[in-house]
Amino acid sequence: MVIEKRILPTWEWLWGSAETGARGAATEFLIATLVLIVLGLLLGLLVSIFRYGPARGWKSYLLVLRQAPRDLLGISPRRVIGLAGLAVREALRRRIWVALLLFFVVLMFASWNLAPNSEQPAVIYLNFVLTAATYIMLPVAVFTAAFSLPQDIKNHTIYTVVTKPVRPSEIILGRVIGFSLVATVLLAAMGLSSYVFVVRGLSHSHQLEKGDLVSETHRGRIIRDTGETSLDDRHRHEVDIEAGGFFPEIEFAESGRITRVGDSARTAGLRVGDRITVIDGTPFSSENVGRAIRTLAGTARSEVALEITRRGEKLRIDAPRAILETFTETNRGHKHRIVARDSNDPAEPRQYTLGAAEGMFLARVPQYGSLRFRDSKGDPKDSRTWKFNEQGVNIGKIFSYRSYIRGNTLAAAIWTFDNLTPEKYPDGFDLDVNIRVYRSYIGKIDAPIVGSIFVRNPETGKRTREQIFSGKDFTIDQMHIARKAWSMDDELVDLFADGLVTPDGRMEVWISCVNPGQYFGMAEADVYIRADDASFTLNFLKGFLGITMQVILVTALAVFFSTFLSGPVSTLISFTTVLLAFNKDFLQRLANSVLYPEMLKQTVSYKRVYGGGPLESLYRLVLQLNITGELEENMLTSSLKAIDLFIMQIIAMVLHLLPDFEQFLEVQYLSHGYNIPWDMLIQHFFSVLSFLVTTYVLGYFVLKSRELAR
């Protein structure tokens, strides 16, 4: 899974982009506010005149408008805190804490059948706890807030408050703060228990013994040991240990200074602080650290000659190769570190130690690039004949989010990355590649499709050799582009110093499909450069912070609806609003597909909704017509389209007033191992704040009008 929706920088999201001409959220908020003010003033005047008559109604209307600035802006923090405390006690009297007990019960029994044989158990665990917390807290917030004010009005307990010097605005604000505070405390407890549940539930290790491995020989020499780990947590891991991958039990810096010494190296005479000068007759320097590491490797119990300096004295020590560190094969979305140790005594068996699971709990920080495609026609050796397009080949799918390139042709997908610096990527680039595969002929269905990848300077055309990889559906392949790579001239070149990255930090990544007749599917977010991972714990906290903002938003809406509706009706309206808000993106695409069908036909990447509006869709369903075919033009179809057009105009206007719950994508980010950007949380905060202000002002006027009615 990749995150397909780009998160805009907060400033661009707030004020818009001059390049694209898109309006910012602040502009949208101001327009919606002006529309609501005009409609609210007109509606308030009509209600007041209808209730009291023209003269008294106009007088009452002006009185409310004169009092509004003082009531909305002159609130007393002490009274608001007191009313919030009353709301907290009311929520506790209604046993809102039962939601927490319910969540605990769900966690207690969830692990029995949760992801027993899943390939990605961490994804399922994280999805489960976040979804459970959301689906438990949203209804609780609605019921608590929606029934509070109508119940007080019905029981006349509200009169003990309004007869005191308390403004209606303070009543609204106090209830929103009080109910939100209780919900936040409950979510904090849910988040802590969820973190323990996920980490402890997926924590495990494996055992590996010498008898679990089979030695593979070549010309009488053991070249590797292969086998499987023990069966733990319903799975095993394949193990491949290279016989020539053992090292002395030391760690050293680029200067050659030894920073850590294990038992076998200490027995041989090495000490922390020694500086390595020669390895097996080869002088050591900071420029050839990679070569030195390769020289240190060898078979177990063999020795490597080290020349060191200690307090100005030169020494020669034969260090035994006694330790090997590697990883198991990835299974169920994780792997384990293997440490193999050989003692100096050949009679003692080799000891294997496996670490905890790694790779389950990630917070990837992707750097995305822009995507274009090279056409399959042209001369491979003459770049002047190459043609580039914004889209690749369409293989016949309706939703063309991804474009495809054909194998064994000149076609290629090209990502251009900006702002690359040696300080940010000192060791090269880690790429995450998520490729879709389309097979024009089946063959072996689970066989991978071969692809190639290389990096290129977009200005000079200088490039590296191709690396071969295997592409599989729904699998994120991790690839490393080393800082020093082989060029087409068989030279080992530095990506930054030797011109593979432009002076302003741009670089291209080219991917092609090798197998003839097969296709690779690409989208812009499918390939990205992976920076250093962020903290998973902090990412988990961000996920629950997003849920908290959703609950606060729903609480504010429910309190607003309760100012003029009964408890059951305000609950129903609140749930309807939440349901529509969770599907706002689909409804917007549906409205745009009906309102602007001809314009969207030119936008290949837009996810259109086919089949027309509600009446046209019903017509197609009854007659069993294809959703993409053109309807026969007659009086009936023209009437249906005209009515759908009118309905979609109304829906489009209503959608501007709805909160977009689909923007709260923390569940997808967290469960699939992506860092939740702070820009996203800041944008969510501003969205929630805008609805809090709106519901606060509208709720005040509604409650004020009900006060005048008595």
Residue 18 domain flag: yes
Do residues 441 and 386 both lie within one domain?
yes
Do residues 82 and 195 both lie within one domain?
yes
Do residues 671 and 541 both lie within one domain?
yes
Do residues 339 and 445 both lie within one domain?
no
Residue 1 domain flag: no
* End residue of a domain, out of 531, 546, 572: 531
Any idea how long the chain is? Answer: 710
Do residues 87 and 120 both lie within one domain?
yes
DSSP line for 318-355 = EEEEEEEEEEPPPBTTBEEEEEEE--S-TTSPPEEEEE
CB contact at 8 A, 705 and 63: no
pLDDT at 520 over 70: yes
Do residues 557 and 693 both lie within one domain?
yes
* End residue of a domain, out of 358, 391, 407: 358
Residue 634 domain flag: yes
pLDDT digits 0-9 by tens, 302-341:
899 999 999 888 999 999 999 999 999 988 888 999 999 9
Whether pTM > 0.85 for this model: the answer is yes
Do residues 561 and 676 both lie within one domain?
yes
Across 86-112, average pLDDT: 90
pLDDT at 397 over 80: no
Given the structure tokens 């509604």, which residue do they identify? 702
Percent of the chain with pLDDT over 90: 35
**Which stretch, 190-194, 373-377, 393-397, 405-409, has highest mean pLDDT?**
190-194
pLDDT at 17 over 80: no
Residue 470 domain flag: yes
Q: Are strands 238-242 and 221-228 parallel, antiparallel or unpaired?
A: antiparallel
Q: Helix, strand or coil for residue 370? A: strand
* End residue of a domain, out of 502, 531, 560: 531
C-alpha closest to that of 613 among 643, 639, 652 = 643
Number of folded domains that form the chain: 3
Residue 53 domain flag: yes
pLDDT at 346 over 80: no
Residue 234 domain flag: yes
Residue 4 domain flag: no
pLDDT digits 0-9 by tens, 443-502:
666 677 889 999 999 998 899 999 888 877 767 788 888 888 888 887 888 899 888 999
State the Rg of the chain over Cα.
33
Give me the sign of the Cα torsion angle 648, 650, 656, 660.
negative
Across 642-659, average pLDDT: 87
CATH assignment of the domain containing 426? 2.60.120
pLDDT at 589 over 80: yes
Do residues 439 and 487 both lie within one domain?
yes
pLDDT at 685: 92
pLDDT at 667: 80
CATH assignment of the domain containing 265? 2.30.42.10
Domain interval for residue 276: 210-358
pLDDT at 338: 93
The confidence band for 536, taking pLDDT boundaries of 50, 70 and 90, is very high
Do residues 307 and 418 both lie within one domain?
no
pLDDT digits 0-9 by tens, 146-169:
998 888 877 777 766 666 678 888
Across 360-365, average pLDDT: 90
The confidence band for 707, taking pLDDT boundaries of 50, 70 and 90, is low
Residue 508 domain flag: yes
pLDDT at 603 over 70: no
CB contact at 8 A, 412 and 425: no
pLDDT at 590: 87
Do residues 513 and 387 both lie within one domain?
yes
pLDDT at 709: 41
Do residues 522 and 549 both lie within one domain?
no
Do residues 336 and 444 both lie within one domain?
no
Percent of the chain with pLDDT over 70: 94
